[in-house]
Each structure stands twice: as C-alpha cells, then as structure tokens.
Amino acid sequence: MHMRLRRSTPGLPAVAATLLLLVASLVGSAIPAAATRAAAAAATPAAPAAEPWWRHAVIYEIYPRSFQDSNGDGTGDLNGIAQRLDYLQQLGVDAIWIAPIYPSAQVDFGYDITDYDAVDPMFGTLADFDRLLGEARRRHIRVILDMVLNHTSDQHPWFLDAARSGDSRYHDFYVWTAGKLDAAGHRAPPNNWVSLFGGSAWEFVPAVGEFYYHRFYRQQPDLNWRNPEVERAMFAAMRFWLERGVAGFRLDAVTELFEDAKLRDAPPLGGTNAQGDPNLSDIYTKNLPEVHDVMRRLRAMMDTYAGERVLIGETYLANTTDLDAWYGGARHDELQLPMDTLVGLGNRLDADTFRRRLLESQTELHHSQPLLVFDNHDNVRSWDRFGDGVHDAQIARIVAALLLTAPATALLYQGQEIGQRTATPTRVEDVRDPLGIRGWPRDKGRDGERTPMQWDGSNAQAGFSTTPHTWLPVTADYRSVNVQSEAADPESLLNWYRRLIALRRNNRALREGRMVMLDTANASVLSYARVSTDGETVIVSLNMSPQPQTPSLDLAQAGLRSSHPRTLLSSPGPLPHGDAKGPVSLPPYAVWIAELR
C-alpha cells in the first residue's frame, strides 16, 4: 500500500454536501472520490452538544462474511448488508459496526490487513461501500468500521519491504531484535513471550538476521508504535475512512499496541494454555502506559471531524479501574466507549456479580458512559454461556433486558436478537479458525459464533445465500430460529428485543436516568431503578434463579417515591400482581419492568 499522509478536508456547506452525497449515492463512483469524502465528512448528522448520539445508542455488530451473501458465492458482502438495512432500522439500531472489510491475506479472516485504504474484493468495492454508507444514512444508521492498529499482515507491502533488509524504509515499522545466543551458540528469541495463538511470539527472518514480534499469528507482525512514522501512517489510514463519512472505529486489540522496551521475560503463572504453551503474565505485553499517549492524540484527531465521531475499544481488562484509564479518567480525552467486558462476557447468571459490576461502572469511571457487550464474534454466544439447557429462552430475555435497561450504550451481535446458538465444530476436520486447528480439542476456535445469520426457512442456507457451499455451515435449528418466523410471532425473542429497544428510546428514565440499586442483599434477583432528573422512575427486576422470588423493593428506603407501579414489559407473560400495590412475585427466570405512576 502506498502510504498517504492526509489532512482533514475542509467541510462543504451542509446543504451542498447533502446534495452531493445524494447524487453520489445515485451515480456511484462517477463523482471524484475526494469530493465525495469531503461531502460525507460535512454531511454527517450533528448530535446535540450535551448528548452525543453514541451515549444512548444501540450498536449492532456485523460479521460481514456471515451476514448476507448477495452474489451467491457463499460469503457475505457489503451489498448483502445494504439489502438488510430495513431490518436493522425496524429493529431500532443506531449504528452498525462492521468487522474488517479491507484487503487481507485472510489468515485471521480479515484481521490481517494488506491494504488499509481499500475493500477486499470478496466484500465488494469502494463504490459498494459508499452506497452502503449512503443507504444507511438515509435510515439514520451510522457506520463504524473495525480498525486494526496493533499489526498488519505479513503480506502487507510495508512488511514485505521491511523483511528484505534492515535498511528498508519500513523496517522500523515493526518490532525487531537480533535475539540472543542459546547454550549451543544458536540464535534464539530474546525472551520467553508466547503468541496468544500458540508458540513463540518471535519469528526469525534469515534475510535480515533478526526476529520480529507477533502478539497473534506469525502472519500478523506487530507494528512498532514507538516509531512516530507508524502513528502518522495509521492515523492517515483512519482519515481516509473518516473523510468518506464513517462514524468512527472499533479498535481491535488496542491494549496490545506497546511491548516492554527492555524485552524482559514474562513472569510465569503456572500451568499451560489451550495451545500447550506456559501461562505467562502479560505485564510486559499488554496495557502499557505509553498507549494512552497515543489514544489522546488519536482522540484529538477524531475530534477535528464533525458529527461526534466515536472510538470504541476492544478492552479485555482485569478490573474496572483499568477500564477507567481508557476513557482518560477524569479528563475524558481518550476512548468514548471502551468495552466493559467485565459485565457481560462472564459465564454465570449471578445477580450479585452483575450488581457489583454495574455499581463499579457507575462509581469508578468518572461518570463516563459504559458500553455493555454480551455477545461478539470472539466469544461463545450468551445463549450458551448463561443458559442452563432448560430455561435458555427465558434467560436470553433476562440478558436482553439487562443489556437494554442498564445505564449504558448497548452492543448487540448479529443473531443475538433471535437466539442464535453457538455451533461449535465436532471434528477438527471441520474447523476453519486457525486458533481452533492449533488448539484442538482444548480450544475449538471461534467458528461456532460466526456461522451465517439465519434469515428464513426458504432454503437450507436460511436465506443467507443461494449456494449450499457457504463458508461456514448454517446451524440445524434455522427452520425455527430465524428472523422471518420470529417476526411473525409476537412472543418471540426478536420481538422482545424490538420492544425493549423501543422502550429504551422512548422512556426518559431508561434513556438518561441514574441507576439506584434495590434489594441489594438478594442473591437471586437483580433489581434497580432508573430515575430521570424530573423524577420519572422505572423499576427493573430480574429473577436469575429457577425458583419463584419476591424481591423486597423498598423504594422509600432508596430515596424514591413509593407509588402504584404499572407494568411496561414482563416475561414470561403477564406477571400476577404486576400492577398491584403490594410485593411482586416473580416466576423463575422472570423479567419485570414497571414505571411508577
């Protein structure tokens, strides 16, 4: 890729920009790309200064390989996403995050990028992307792209040049070392670091007589963020898409950008991981303080664009205090939405754990907005993580209610809203994910949560494709678990999500109210109130146990006015005494959402 360093394009007047975008959407690439990018940047809808659009948004992750195949090749694409925008609008989402669509060697299914300024032909063209952007904008849906800052593909032109000679212009774009000599006098890696995807984190290149570092696959060499040229080049790549009109970026593996400059050995933790490597501390390879300087500069660059562009972080961290640093703490000058994976990516439906984590998100983030996530393309689906095999459908409604009524921005993953299950391969021969191939059987990879979206029962591909040879097989339950059948069923999980999203959008307390925990000693039921500034109050009570429960909702003790509750939503079915003045009895795995009148 030719490295292009860009400056922000001055905006056009808003009316002219909007007209230019409309014409661009009709004629595709006939309008010069630079003019289209400038128009897109100027025409991005401006959110009120006090409440940026992302603060109460529902963001929907799309794994493009598996969302909708428009051309019958078995792989999803950009035009397929465009075909399903009406569905996303009806669901009520505010933005879509699309996993990488850039040209890639496809070792890690798009997360090994060979060109940051283009679209991989398997997904379409830049013209297809621009049309998708325009169609989404007309439906008031913003588009967020995945951006991989930590590493490139080893087939990226930068690395191909870097690996030819130590004198290459791009050699210092990556992390290199001569290593050390072992006891036999042979060249060896400089330390004991291992790749998260198995084996040593160091790969020797005879042509230059050095090792390069790779936190992930060996085909994903880490960029050297201590080199200012790397920052300039990567910021330029992001400007390319910002000037086309994207609403922001989800930053992949952003906690891994820096490594210990002294390359010290990682302390061992004991035991081995799924790949058979020793478990090591990541103290020298993750969450180093230097990354926050980069994030502040990145945020400052993003803030030069109109339309409240947003930075979302893939932030798997040990505690909420670490998460606070990614917002910039009290300065609020880094990421707007680092993912709070502590709340939603656990494995136990436990009221005490959720209560503790939610309280932390309200008290330890300097009033920053949490971003809750229960499902994504890297984790077993919440249906399977929290389900007990008997009450899975009821538990899925609890997960949805918690995600959409807590005071946080909400992130959905395609298929979550219809109860799509994890389809873990049963034979190593069927595994596509290299992580599962290497880690089998202890780690079976991530294919199970990446299977095609189930749209209808029209064919054996669930309406995802017209070919039987889809890149991953459709799960066997597609005839009953699909959008078409659930849309027609008022009591389906899909319609439960739709009602929750609509309630969240239209109810002031759920949209902007503070959270007050209720019945805090109850180990079975999570209950809280959302209270708006004018006193409008909504009660949420979630029974996370297989036994009936009667929570103690002492509103007066919590400083709330005690009044007659009116049920807004409940599951399973109407709850007895839901509108009564007295205690509410919750069936097993019940949801009760009520407003105080």
Residue 248 phi, psi (nearest 5) = 155, -165
What are the distances in angstroms from CA 399 to CA 62, 137, 347, 501? Answer: 19, 29, 12, 13
Q: Nearest Cα to 368, choosing from 403, 328, 402? A: 328
d(CA 365, CA 354): 16
Q: Nearest Cα to 88, choosing from 370, 401, 497, 472? A: 497
Q: Is 13 exposed, middle or buried (0-12, 13-18, 19+ CB in 10 A)?
A: exposed
Say if residues 110 and 102 touch (Cβ distance below 8 Å).
Answer: yes
Total residue length of the chain? 597
What are the distances in angstroms from CA 426 to CA 272, 386, 565? Answer: 23, 21, 49
d(CA 509, CA 322): 29
Residues 6+ apart with CB under 8 A from 21: 36, 39, 40, 43, 134, 137, 245
Residues 6+ apart with CB under 8 A from 66: 76, 414, 450, 451, 452, 453, 464, 471, 472
Active site residue 491: no
Lookup result for tokens 């290497």: 438
What are the distances in angstroms from CA 541 to CA 402, 473, 547, 557? Answer: 9, 38, 14, 17
Residue 449: which H helix or E strand, with range?
A: none
d(CA 414, CA 465): 16
Residue 166's identity, in one-letter code, is G
Say if residues 306 and 246 touch (Cβ distance below 8 Å).
Answer: no
Active site residue 314: yes
| Catalytic residue, candidates 154, 210, 252, 334 | 252
d(CA 220, CA 152): 6
Q: Nearest Cα to 81, choosing from 24, 120, 131? A: 131
DSSP 479-506: GTSSHHHHHT-TTSHHHHHHHHHHHHHH
| Catalytic residue, candidates 61, 94, 120, 314 | 314
Catalytic positions: 252, 314
